[in-house]
Structures are given as C-alpha cells and as structure tokens.
Structure 1
Amino acid sequence: MTSPVTLDRREGPYGEVVLRRRAEHYEIIANGTFLMDTSDGRSERLLIDAALAALPEESRPGASVLIGGLGVGFSLAHAAADPRWGRIVVAEREEAIIDWHRQGPLAAISGAALADPRTVILHTDLVAYLRATTDTYDALCLDIDNGPDWTVTEDNESLYSAEGLASCAARLNPGGILAVWSAQPSADFEESLRNAGFSGVRTEEIPVARGVPDVVHLAVRPG
C-alpha cells in the first residue's frame, strides 16, 4: 500500500484535523481517526439519493436539504448535480476542511457545487446549529461520524440521543427525511429513532470491498 503524504495539519477547537494524499486519493483524519477518503463515494451519494427518494413525490421538486459534514465533498457535489434540490445547506465545523474545498485540492470535487447559487456553506457545529436555528428542511443528511456507535468526538454523541433526535425532528418539515450514514448497521439506533417518534425507520446497505457493509439509516418525521 502506498504511504500517505500529509498535505496539511491543523489544530482547532475540536482537536487535530489532517489532509493526506495516498496515491491519487485524499484522506481526512480527525484526532487520529480515519473519517473518509476520495476512493469511493458510493455511500455518500446514496445518502443523498436515498433521502430524496424517500420524500413524497410531490415534495421532491425544489426540496431543501441540510448536509451535516462537508467531508471530501461527494455528498454536496451529488446534491448539486440534481436539479430537484432547491436549496442545499452544508454545516461544517472544521475551518480547515472548508479551506481545502475553497482553496485546496478538494476543490476539484466540490468547485462546481460551491459555485451553485443553491449552495450555502455554514461554518458551524451541526449539533449547536440544530439546537439554535429555526430553519427547517425537507431532508437532513448526516455524515459527521463513522456512525451513531462510533463518533469522532464525545460531543457528537448527543446528536444520537433522545434530545439530539428531537432537535433533528424539529428541523424537518412534516414528512421530511432524516438520513444518517454509518460504517455499520445499528439496531439500537433504529430503536432510538422509533422511540423519538420517527416512522418508516429502515436501513439501506452499501456493499464494500471487504468487511461489514456501510449503511444509511432512514426515518420519516410524521406529518
């Protein structure tokens, strides 16, 4: 395996974040934990597609989506490539990651999406934003951790608690979709979604080269 080359390393309010290049691909590492890379964006694209497909057909044209986590930009780029999304908002708490997209090598993935007038990038912590804002969306697509059972920081654990899921529901329009990416299925999280009042709870698998499939947990805020 090709050894990675560190391109940038930053210390921020949430710890260390690193951008590395391995051969032709880029990797993001947060506090020593691998988050994602540019080798395969199927699961990030499914996160967006599954949320849109789960919306009522009449709600799809002009639908609004909040994407939690900019990452390597696959989710944003895929959403911006679909004209059915009317408003695309991304919450990203790491200034370094935003910089890598606006002025760094990840602009090759997200440049067109960032220039799209439907796109808004918020430099903010997703958990704090969900609690503070009064904005609502047709879909919330969350990809800020390796899953509900494997968070990047302890602060993120509150997002998957009863209080955090209530904040997600409050930010969804009636009939809106919550889609959460995870590196592995979580029956406990499915139960938490049901206990929080969501309906239509289900899990879609994304096959990977080896190991447990990635998944997207889906849930509907009842009308």
Structure 2
Amino acid sequence: MEPDTQTYTCAMIPPAPRTLDRREGPYGEVVLRERGRHFEIIANGCFLMDTSDGRSERLLIDAALGALPAGRSDPSLLIGGLGVGFSLVRAAEEERWGRIAVVEREQAIVDWHRQGPLDRISGAALADPRTQVLHTDLVAHLLTATERYDALCLDIDNGPDWTVTDDNGGLYSPTGLAHCHDRLTPGGVLAVWSAQPSPAFEQALRNAGFTGVRTEEVAVARGVPDVVHLASRGA
C-alpha cells in the first residue's frame, strides 16, 4: 500500500528533508531523502520523484493495458525505471499482465527497494514470480535486446523535454523511438510519462511510425498536469 498524499496548510512548515543515502555512480549522484512520511529521489541535484502521490505512475500502467488489442493473453510488460516503485506495484496488482521486466540502471535504487526503506512499497511486487529486475541502461537494453514486449512503460526522466542526464535524450530521438518500435509486438503499446505535455514529442512518435498517438493528463496540486504519452505499433 502506497503512502497517502501529504498536504500542508499555511500555518504548517513542511519538515526538512533527511538524507538517508547518497551514492556516486556511473551516471552521477543519486540521493534518497525522507521528508515526513514520504521519500524523495534526487538525481544529479534534480528532483526526480517522491512517494507523495502515485496517480500518474499508476495511469502509465493502466493506460498501456487498456490500449492493448482486446483478447491479448498474458501480455508482457517492460517498465523503464524502477523509481519509487509505484508503476511496478500497479503492474503486479493486475493479474492480467504476464512477464513484468523492470529496467533500472542505478544500483542504489535497486538496493533501496531490495534492502532499504522502499521495500515497504515494492517488496511484494518484487517477490512476484512474474517480476524480473534488469540492472542495465534502458537505451542500451532497447538497442541490444532481441525479445519483444506487448507494452513499454517508460518513466526515466521528467519527460522527453527534460531529461535527467544528457545521454537519455537519445531515447526520444528518431533512432531511440525506432528501437522502441522494434521492441514492441504488433499492436503493442508505448507509454511515456512526462511532467508536462509535449506536442513535439507527439509528432516525433508519428514520424517514427507509431499510430493512435494521444496524451492523457493527470491533474496535480500545482502547475500543469502530469501526462502519459501513448502510441501503438501497427498490427
């Protein structure tokens, strides 16, 4: 069960974050912080995600499943980015999914889930026999993998226009999207989380040969909605 959203009134002062772990890895620094009842992941000084709300992470999984052709049995799923675990948890809660692969390049994040405080969120999902964690870079996996998936649900950045590291930009390039297209089964679905809508990315998806391109919004407390970009590989 994921934590409830925490809100503050004007008379309340948000608690100061407490650093639980800080790691230097091949892609820079990642930090796990605790703020009140919630956890935050910071990558290279950039706020990546927290456990205060998981609506858009759940929508990422639900929308992909809903967009698959009717009657597809035990569809396989690749989740790009373990993050705070909300997308994986949602997938494991849905018995219709078959194999669930999670690609995570940061060993620290995997450790926080397997032996650290994030285990309370994802422990049951990681123990699900359908789940496999792949410790590798998502872009490299899409380039070198031979297996295909019925759905790719990607959440490794704050969106196509706001990447955590410069090399992630290749995922949203024509070449990167071509690799995504190749890794999908006919009729398979690509779902990409973003902190804001990106008409340019929608057009890039169409240019890459995807069909049924659309964007679903998730309202947030402040600012523009989070979104999930959806597209399908033609049957």
Instruction: Sort the TM-score into its range (normalised by shorter chain).
Output: over 0.9
Superposition pairs for residues 193-204 of structure 1, below 5 Å?
Answer: 193-204=205-216
Q: What's the secondary structure of 1:109's corresponding residue?
A: helix
CA distance in 2, matches of 1:39, 1:23: 10
The AA in structure 2 aligned to 1:154 is: D
Counterpart in the other structure of 1:156: 168
Q: What's the secondary structure of 1:56's corresponding residue?
A: coil
Misfit runs of 4+, over 3 Å: none
More strand by share: 1
CA distance in 1, matches of 2:135, 2:198: 29
Q: What's the secondary structure of 1:8's corresponding residue?
A: strand
CA distance in 2, matches of 1:195, 1:3: 45
Counterpart in the other structure of 1:33: 46
Q: Given the alignment, which residue of 55, 59, 75 partners 2:87?
A: 75
Q: Given the alignment, which residue of 25, 30, 33 partners 1:20?
A: 33
Q: What's the secondary structure of 1:85's corresponding residue?
A: coil
Counterpart in the other structure of 2:68: 55
Post-superposition Cα deviations, 1:180-207, rounded to whole Å, max 9, x if no partner, equal 0000000000000000000000000000
Counterpart in the other structure of 1:188: 200
Q: What's the secondary structure of 2:99's corresponding residue?
A: strand
Aligned length: 222
CA distance in 2, matches of 1:144, 1:210: 22
Deviation (angstroms), 1:24: 0.4
Report sequence identity in percent: 75
Which structure has the bigger radius of gyration? 2
CA distance in 2, matches of 1:164, 1:209: 32
5+ residue gaps, structure 1, are none
Post-superposition Cα deviations, 1:101-146, rounded to whole Å, max 9, x if no partner, equal 0000000010001110000000000000000000100000000000
Over aligned residues, Cα RMSD in angstroms? 0.4
CA distance in 1, matches of 2:191, 2:156: 12
Q: TM-score, normalising length from structure 1?
A: 0.99
Counterpart in the other structure of 2:111: 99
The AA in structure 2 aligned to 1:32 is: G
Q: TM-score, normalising length from structure 2?
A: 0.94
5+ residue gaps, structure 2, are 1-13
Deviation (angstroms), 1:88: 0.3
CA distance in 2, matches of 1:12, 1:69: 16
Q: What's the secondary structure of 2:71's corresponding residue?
A: helix
Asked if 1:121 corresponds to 2:133, the answer is: yes
Deviation (angstroms), 1:148: 0.1
